[in-house]
Structure 1
Amino acid sequence: MMLVHDIRRNESHLIDFRESAPGALREEALQRSWETKPGLLVGVPGMVKGLHEAHQLYGR
């Protein structure tokens, strides 16, 4: 998460780029393989996407 404060406008904006589950992952798959395949519980990092969004909005 990134909190950006614009001191000139006295406004704050939050950019949320925490990890997320893979798009193709379904709840049923997690329930079936919870104990045998714990690697499916890994989140997809969002750091590059979040920094890109911050640059697009506030970068120079």
Structure 2
Amino acid sequence: MSKEVKIMAYTLKELYTMYGVSRKTFKKWLLPFSNLQNSNGRTFTPHQVEQIFNQLGKPE
């Protein structure tokens, strides 16, 4: 049974770990989506996380 991923603020590390990829790979995935870059360098807002999930699919 898979755990439902909540839309909330996440750090870059939390997100790339959820997707099971390296930091470098995850950042490359986000390059086409300039609005998804985390501006403060630490945390993605819930709105950004929702957009990431919409673009990349929810992590399993």
Q: TM-score range by the shorter chain?
A: under 0.3
What TM-score do the two structures reach when normalised by structure 2?
0.28
Indicate the structure whose relative CO is greater, using CA pairs within 8 Å and at least 6 residues apart.
2
Structure with the bigger percentage of helix: 2
What TM-score do the two structures reach when normalised by structure 1?
0.28
Structure with the bigger percentage of strand: 1
